[in-house]
Structure 1
Amino acid sequence: MVSLPEELEAREAAARRRVEELQAEAAELALRMEKAREDLSRLEITRETVTKVLAELSAADMDVELVVSAEPERESEPHGAAVMMVPPWREGLVTTVLPDVYRDIMEVIADAPGPLQAKQIVPRIGLPATTGKIEGTRVKLKRLVERGWLDEDVPGRFGLARRGPGIDRSNSR
């Protein structure tokens, strides 16, 4: 017959092994998650860059029709039109026209007491503070500056454009 203390020790050892196994699984999943997030970030940046280039090409030559074709000699129907993800700010434009991540960035900056750095914004929009996420967010911040939504008076510090984009401030202060 097994004594109670021996039975408890055996159960404790089994529980400890299970915890260690789960910790190892969690560590592996965390690594896989980080890689997947980095892949996603690269794809988002690539899509945004391609969209920006297409928008610039479209703006440069409004009369040229964009045609996507598998064979250059053959005419085909347009596959799609260039769409600018982040439109230039103009009077009356509100943040609801922005993609979700840009809207999140604008809300964080609107709620902040002063200009913020990309590394301060990343955790506030729910991303891990990794180099890839910080750099991806910095690219988005620079795009918002280029399009007139934000100002960057001090390099690397971003705040709302002084003329005040049409941000809905009902969630702020």
Structure 2
Amino acid sequence: MNSLFEELAAREAAARVRVEELEAEVAELSGKLGLARESLERLRIARETVAEVLAEMTPEKAAMGGDARQPATSAPVASAYAGAERQVIGVLAVPNWQPGMGPEVLPRVCRDIVEVVADAPGPVRAKQIVPRIGLPAETGKIECRRSKLKRLVERGWLDEDVPGLFTLARRRGGVSSNSR
């Protein structure tokens, strides 16, 4: 009979270990669930705040970039969000360049790219930009930045006269290269 009791004791010990492992997994998953809930709540609040701000914006404030304190003597900077509907479906992260706009309106990564291109002595390639903004020169990082460069070209911030070679758009300060 000792062998039966020994077998039951061994199974009980194995079951106890399994229960402890599952309790540890539950604790870990509870922590992950808590973090996911916090992230969800922050996103909900951000969405509601943006909707409130856009709902409160008048077309005049939107045309001035949302700053009603701008002096009347300066020309208002056209906003990418001018005339935005009250129900927002998407947001234009990289606005179309317009006279008076500076790189400070761009998302941080795009601003960094524009600054690197501006500091370069000539046209630059995506693989030259990646290490200058502090990223490893890996294919994925290069291709991601290349797509951002193409978006900046589409929106008027950069030029790509030769495929793959990027320069600042030649119409800085509201003067286009065609009007010179």
TM-score (normalizing by structure 1): 0.50
| Higher relative contact order (Cα pairs below 8 Å, separated by 6+ residues) | 1
Choose 1 or 2 for highest CA Rg: 2
- How does the TM-score come out when normalised to structure 2? 0.48
